[in-house]
């Protein structure tokens, strides 16, 4: 048994309380065929058994984990209302909760004023930020690193804005000399600084990019979809900390509550430092904005209908776990990074692996030692499959030669890329489980690596 179920009873209590709020209406009970629901759910439960165990500490593969019990219960509770945060007409309290929760996120980054809202996810949030960049700097290029999320190149294509890719240094961060060369040769309107790359958790050097932006007049957009919340962690390396300390100077920031913010899917967030960019969103709607002259979130968002449940869940989670330095949420993020550091110590003591660069957040990349890149990739595949057979789920990353050049000078590059192992230690329980995780991994490595 590994699912949390005690909060189901709490949900029922809260639902009864919510129901009382509508007791002045004529009595009404919607009809439901409970047997039909039961048989459908039984089938769903059987089919969903084929998932990887995202909720279990033995899953350290992709950026996946269940929402916090508060978020899950609050989301479910609000489904009896099913609010729509497009307009106040469709979700009054959930719109207020969205504004409050988003303002708390903005404050976490150091902004007392901002313009921002929730989105369906990081892709939509980045789309809005780059759309505004295009409005402010028409025709000027958007630049992101080769380790930035692929969405930036694709969004630039959708928006019809030229896109340039910048090389990375040996740690997977945007290379400053490469950025300077691009900025000097072409008209750059916006630089995307990734704070926590998806593959390796690398943090681009924001202070230096901001300084370059001052001289060349480009905007700086921070993509912190994965890593944004590490602003609160107290155990970052000094170089990484320097970037987080400067986040308030960016022009726009994206963070995904559905990644490290303990939320169900469908929850990204985009923030702009200057509230005046709201003018770009201005539009009329003949249908929706009637019952209040207060701001309807649809007036500052590209999406129309959006789940009010996402805002309710986020607001409730931030009430339980405030976004405060030193608080429980911050301490649990720090534990994730601690788990990554401890895994690296064990890999180094073991000696049969290369860790190409130290983790900046909670993602660890490592590869089994071998003579050639193709052989490393084959051993990685074997380790990946054999650990999964033990119930231990890692991920893989296909990475370029440049990321291994410093740590592995004698590797024979018979292929341009190398497949390495990758783990996202994004559950706070990973730290407690690290010993068990390591013993399981080591037993597999003994078999796979020593027998070949
Ligand atoms: C996950 C991710 C995205 C895309 O966000 P979605 O929520 O998956 O749409 C963008 N950028 C980074 C850095 C990410 O990690």
What 3 state SS string does 363-421 have?
EEEEEECCCEHHHHHHHHHHHHHHHHHCCCECEEEEEEHHHCCCCCCCCECCCCEEEEE
Q: How confident is the model at residue 284 (pLDDT cuts 50, 70, 90)?
A: confident
In the predicted structure, residue 292 carries a pLDDT above the cut 80: no
Instruction: Determine the distance separating the centroid of ligand 1 and the alpha carbon of 149, expressed in angstroms.
Output: 7
Rounded CA gap, 240 and 435, in Å?
A: 27
Q: How confident is the model at residue 450 (pLDDT cuts 50, 70, 90)?
A: confident
Q: From the alpha carbon of 195, which atom of ligand 1 is closest? A: 13
Per-residue pLDDT tens over the stretch 53-62: 999 999 999 9
Instruction: Determine the distance separating the centroid of ligand 1 and the alpha carbon of 226, expressed in angstroms.
Output: 7
Q: Which of 61, 322, 101 is nearest to 199 (CA)?
A: 61
Rounded CA gap, 117 and 103, in Å?
A: 9
User: Is 204's C-beta closer than 6 angstroms to any atom of ligand 1?
Assistant: no
pTM over 0.75: yes
Residue 180 neighbours by CB distance under 10 Å:
15
Atom 8 of ligand 1, nearest CA residue: 122
Percent of the chain whose pLDDT exceeds 90: 93
Rounded CA gap, 217 and 212, in Å?
A: 8
CATH number of 92-320: 3.40.640.10
Instruction: Determine the distance separating the centroid of ligand 1 and the alpha carbon of 106, expressed in angstroms.
Output: 18
In the predicted structure, residue 289 carries a pLDDT above the cut 80: no
Helix axes 92-108, 308-320, angle to 10 degrees: 50
Mean pLDDT of 23-52: 96
Q: How confident is the model at residue 452 (pLDDT cuts 50, 70, 90)?
A: low
Per-residue pLDDT tens over the stretch 146-165: 999 999 999 999 999 999 99
Task: Name the residue of 225, 243, 265, 269 to mutate for ligand 1: max ligand atoms within 8 A of Cβ.
Answer: 225
Q: From the alpha carbon of 198, which atom of ligand 1 is closest? A: 15
In the predicted structure, residue 357 carries a pLDDT above the cut 90: yes
Rounded CA gap, 20 and 4, in Å?
A: 27
Mean pLDDT of 232-255: 98
Highest CATH level, class, for 328-451 = alpha beta
User: Is 121's C-beta closer than 6 angstroms to any atom of ligand 1?
Assistant: yes
| Residue 434 backbone zone (phi > 0: left; psi -120 to 50: alpha; other: beta) | alpha
- pLDDT value of residue 395: 98
In the predicted structure, residue 189 carries a pLDDT above the cut 70: yes
**Residue ranges per domain, the chain?**
92-320, 328-451
- pLDDT value of residue 295: 85
């Amino acid at each position: 048994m590994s699912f949390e179920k005690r909060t189901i009873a709490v949900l029922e209590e809260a639902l009864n309380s919510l129901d009382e709020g509508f007791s002045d209406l004529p009595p009404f009970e919607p009809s439901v065929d409970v047997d039909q629901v039961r048989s459908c759910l039984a089938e769903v439960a059987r089919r969903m058994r084929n998932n990887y165990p995202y909720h279990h500490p033995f899953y350290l593969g992709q950026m996946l984990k269940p929402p916090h019990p508060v978020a899950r219960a609050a989301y479910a509770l609000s489904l009896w209302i099913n609010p729509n945060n497009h307009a106040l007409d469709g979700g009054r309290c959930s719109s207020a909760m969205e504004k409050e929760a988003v303002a708390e996120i903005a404050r976490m980054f150091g902004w007392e004023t901002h313009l921002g809202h929730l989105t369906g996810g990081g892709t939509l949030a980045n789309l809005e930020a780059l759309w505004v960049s295009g409005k402010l700097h028409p025709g000027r290029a958007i630049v992101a690193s080769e380790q930035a999320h692929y969405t930036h190149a694709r969004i630039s294509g959708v928006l019809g804005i030229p896109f340039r890719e910048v090389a990375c240094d040996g740690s997977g961060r945007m290379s400053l000399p490469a950025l300077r060369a691009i900025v000097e040769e072409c008209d750059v309107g916006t630089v995307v600084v990734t704070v926590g790359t998806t593959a390796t958790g690398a943090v681009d050097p924001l202070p230096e990019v901001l300084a370059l932006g001052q001289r060349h007049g480009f905007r700086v957009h921070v993509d912190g979809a994965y890593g944004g919340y590490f602003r609160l962690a107290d155990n970052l390396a000094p170089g990484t900390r320097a970037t987080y300390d400067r986040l308030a100077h960016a022009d726009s920031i994206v963070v995904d509550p559905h990644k490290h913010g303990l939320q169900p899917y469908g929850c990204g967030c985009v923030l702009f430092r200057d509230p005046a960019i709201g003018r770009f969103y201005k539009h009329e709607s003949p249908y929706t904005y009637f019952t209040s002259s207060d701001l309807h979130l649809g007036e500052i968002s590209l999406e129309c209908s959006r789940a009010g449940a996402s805002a309710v869940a986020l607001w409730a989670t931030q009430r339980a776990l405030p976004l405060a330095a030193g608080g429980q949420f911050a301490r649990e993020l720090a534990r994730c990074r601690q788990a990554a550091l401890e895994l690296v110590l064990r890999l180094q003591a073991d000696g049969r692996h290369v860790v190409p660069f130290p983790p900046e957040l909670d993602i660890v990349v490592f590869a089994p030692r071998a003579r050639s890149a193709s052989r490393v990739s084959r051993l990685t595949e074997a380790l990946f499959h054999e650990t999964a057979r033990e119930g231990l789920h890692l991920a893989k990353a296909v990475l370029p030669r440049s990321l291994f050049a410093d740590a592995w000078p004698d590797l024979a590059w018979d292929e341009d890329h190398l497949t390495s192992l990758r783990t996202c230690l994004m559950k706070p329980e990973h730290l407690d489980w690290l010993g068990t995780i390591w013993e399981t991994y080591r037993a597999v490595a003994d078999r796979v690596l020593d027998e070949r």
